[in-house]
C-alpha cells in the first residue's frame, strides 16, 4: 500500500495547489531538492572539482540506480542534459546510408520528427509513418508489413506527450528484432510512471528525462544503449569524456555507453536524478504504475460525465496523461481559469502532426501522478 499522506508530506509542492502536470515537470520529492541543494552548497564552499571528488562514489552510483530502474547494466547508461539530447546522441549516431528506411508512428514527438526530416535531407534517409490501429496505437500488422531488410531503424515513443495511450512496445520490439532493425524507444513519459524493463521491451536504445514522471531535476536525462548495439553506433560528437586522445592521429572511444556523454554537466543535477530514481524504486514501479493508471481512469470517467467536455485520449491501455477539449471554451482559457484556482494543467498544442496535419486542435492536458489524490481530481472536476 502507498502511504499517500507521507509521500505528500515529503513533497513541498503538494502544499501549493493542485499540480496536474507530471507530464510536463512533476513535483520533486524533498530528497531530490536536498541532494541538489547540498551539492550546490558544497560547490560554493570548497569548489566544484573538490565537491565532485567528494561526491564521486554517489555520482558513480547514479549509473547503478538508473540501470536498475530500467533493468539495464550500469555500463549501458549514459547521462545527458535532456532526453532530447540523449535521443539525438543515439539517432545521429546511426551511420545511415541513402535509402535506409526509418519507421515511426503517427504520434511521434516533434523534436524526433524534425530530426528524421533532418536526416532525410542530409543522408537520404526515407521516413515512413506506420499507421495507427483502431485504438490509435501503432498498428502491429502495418508495422509487420512495412518491416524488411531496408529498415534500419524503428523509432517510436512508449507514451506520447499529447495523448493518453500506451504503445505496445514489447510487441514492437519482437517485430523489430525479427527484422534485424534497430529499435529506439522514446520513454520520456513512461520512465517513472510505468514499470519499464528494457529486457522485456527488447529495445536497443532508450531515452528518458529526469523532470517528468521520475520527479527528478530539470535539465537531466539519460540514454540506454544495449551493449550489443554499442558498436553499431558512432557518436555524433566526441570529447575527452567520450574518448581518449592516444596519438597524433588517433583516439580511442570509451568502452561503455558513456562514450555518448560530454564531460561537463550539472553534478547536482546528476545526483538529483540518481536520488529521484532511488526514490521511485523505494516506492516500487509496479505500485506507482497501478496507482497512476487508476487515477488516470478515474479522471477520464469523471470528465466524460461533464456535459460539454470530450476526452480525447485513444488507446487500448491508457496512462496518467489525460487530454480533453470543451465544446465552447478554448484550452488556453480553461488552463488560465484553473490556474487562478491554483489547479495546474497545460495546453497541449503542436504545429503539425502526421495524423492531423497543420495546426492540430489544441487540448487541455491534465497529468496525474501517484501523489495526486482523489480529492484533487474532484476539485478539478468541480472547477471545470
Ligand atoms: C518531453 C518529451 C521529450 C523531451 O524531453 P526533454 O527532456 O525535454 O528533452 C521527448 N519525447 C517525449 C515523448 C516527451 O514527452
Give the position, in ligand 1's atom list, of the atom nearest the Cα of 220. Answer: 7
Taking the centre of ligand 1 as the mean of its atom positions, its distance from the CA of residue 303, in whole angstroms, is: 26
CATH class of 33-282: alpha beta
Range list of β-strands (E), the chain: 18-19, 77-80, 101-105, 126-130, 151-157, 182-186, 205-209, 221-225, 243-247, 250-253, 309-311, 321-326, 343-344, 346-348, 352-353, 357-358, 363-367
Q: Where are the domains of the chain?
A: 4-29+284-383, 33-282
CATH of 4-29+284-383, one of 3.40.50.300, 3.40.50.720, 3.90.1150.10, 3.30.365.10: 3.90.1150.10
Sorting pLDDT into bands at 50, 70 and 90, what band is 128? very high
Q: pLDDT per residue over 135-146, tens digit each?
A: 999 999 999 999
**Residue 349 phi, psi (nearest 5):** -140, 135
Give the position, in ligand 1's atom list, of the atom nearest the Cα of 211. Answer: 7
- CA dist 132 and 142 (Å) reads 8
Which among 362, 365, 341, 336 is positioned nearest to 351, based on CA atoms?
Answer: 362
Sorting pLDDT into bands at 50, 70 and 90, what band is 355? confident
Q: Find the residues whose C-beta lies inside 6 A of ligand 1.
A: 82-84, 109, 157, 160-161, 186, 188-189, 209, 221
Give the position, in ligand 1's atom list, of the atom nearest the Cα of 210. Answer: 7
Q: pLDDT per residue over 243-265, tens digit each?
A: 999 999 999 999 999 999 999 99
Q: pLDDT per residue over 61-117, tens digit each?
A: 999 999 999 999 999 999 999 999 999 999 999 999 999 999 999 999 999 999 999
Sorting pLDDT into bands at 50, 70 and 90, what band is 171? very high
Residue 81 sits at the vertex; the CA angle it makes with 73 and 48, to the nearest 5 degrees, is 95
For 303, the grid coordinates are 470528465
What percentage of the chain reaches a pLDDT higher than 70? 100
- What is the average pLDDT across 344-355? 94
Q: pLDDT per residue over 43-74, tens digit each?
A: 999 999 999 999 999 999 999 999 999 999 99
Q: Whose CA is nearest to atom 15 of ligand 1?
A: 161
**Residue 337 phi, psi (nearest 5):** -70, -35
Sorting pLDDT into bands at 50, 70 and 90, what band is 1? confident
Computed over every residue of the chain, the mean pLDDT equals 97
Say if pTM beats, i.e. exceeds, 0.85.
yes
What lies within 8 Å, CB to CB, of 38 at 6+ separation is none
Size (the chain), residues: 384
Mutate to test the pocket of ligand 1, among 21, 105, 109, 167 (most ligand atoms within 8 A of CB): 109
Give the position, in ligand 1's atom list, of the atom nearest the Cα of 82. Answer: 7
Amino acid at each position: 500500500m502507498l502511504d499517500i499522506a507521507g509521500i505528500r508530506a515529503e513533497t513541498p509542492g503538494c502544499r501549493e495547489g493542485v499540480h496536474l502536470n507530471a507530464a510536463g515537470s512533476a513535483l520533486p520529492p524533498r530528497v531530490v531538492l536536498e541532494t541538489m541543494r547540498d551539492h550546490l552548497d558544497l560547490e560554493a564552499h570548497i569548489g566544484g572539482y573538490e565537491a565532485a571528488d567528494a561526491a564521486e562514489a554517489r555520482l558513480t552510483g547514479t549509473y547503478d540506480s538508473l540501470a536498475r530502474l530500467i533493468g539495464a547494466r550500469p555500463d549501458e547508461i549514459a547521462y545527458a542534459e535532456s532526453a532530447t539530447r540523449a535521443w539525438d546522441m543515439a539517432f545521429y549516431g546511426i551511420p545511415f546510408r541513402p535509402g535506409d528506411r526509418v519507421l515511426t508512428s503517427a504520434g511521434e514527438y516533434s523534436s524526433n520528427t524534425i530530426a528524421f526530416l533532418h536526416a532525410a535531407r542530409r543522408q537520404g534517409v526515407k521516413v515512413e509513418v506506420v499507421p495507427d490501429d483502431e485504438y490509435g496505437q501503432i498498428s502491429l500488422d502495418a508495422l509487420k508489413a512495412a518491416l524488411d531488410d531496408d529498415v534500419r531503424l524503428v523509432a517510436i515513443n512508449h507514451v506520447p506527450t499529447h495523448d493518453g495511450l500506451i504503445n505496445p512496445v514489447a510487441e514492437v520490439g519482437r517485430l523489430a528484432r525479427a527484422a534485424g532493425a534497430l529499435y529506439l524507444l522514446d520513454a520520456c513519459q513512461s520512465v517513472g510512471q510505468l514499470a519499464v524493463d528494457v529486457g522485456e521491451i527488447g529495445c536497443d536504445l532508450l531515452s528518458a528525462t529526469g523532470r517528468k514522471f521520475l520527479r527528478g531535476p530539470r535539465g537531466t536525462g539519460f540514454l540506454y544503449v544495449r551493449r550489443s548495439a554499442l558498436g553499431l553506433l558512432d557518436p555524433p560528437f566526441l570529447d575527452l569524456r567520450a574518448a581518449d586522445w592516444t596519438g597524433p592521429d588517433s583516439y580511442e572511444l570509451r568502452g561503455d555507453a558513456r562514450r555518448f556523454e560530454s564531460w561537463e554537466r550539472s553534478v547536482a543535477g546528476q545526483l538529483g536524478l540518481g536520488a529521484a530514481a532511488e526514490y521511485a524504486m523505494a516506492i516500487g514501479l509496479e505500485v506507482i504504475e497501478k496507482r497512476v493508471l487508476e487515477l488516470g481512469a478515474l479522471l477520464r470517467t469523471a470528465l466524460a460525465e461533464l456535459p460539454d467536455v470530450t476526452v480525447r485520449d485513444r488507446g487500448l491501455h491508457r496512462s496518467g496523461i489525460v487530454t480533453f477539449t470543451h465544446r465552447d471554451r478554448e484550452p488556453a482559457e480553461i488552463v488560465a481559469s484553473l490556474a487562478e484556482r491554483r489547479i495546474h494543467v497545460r495546453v497541449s498544442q503542436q504545429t503539425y502532426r502526421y495524423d492531423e496535419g497543420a495546426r492540430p486542435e489544441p487540448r487541455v492536458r491534465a497529468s496525474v501522478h501517484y501523489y495526486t489524490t482523489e480529492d484533487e481530481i474532484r476539485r478539478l472536476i468541480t472547477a471545470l
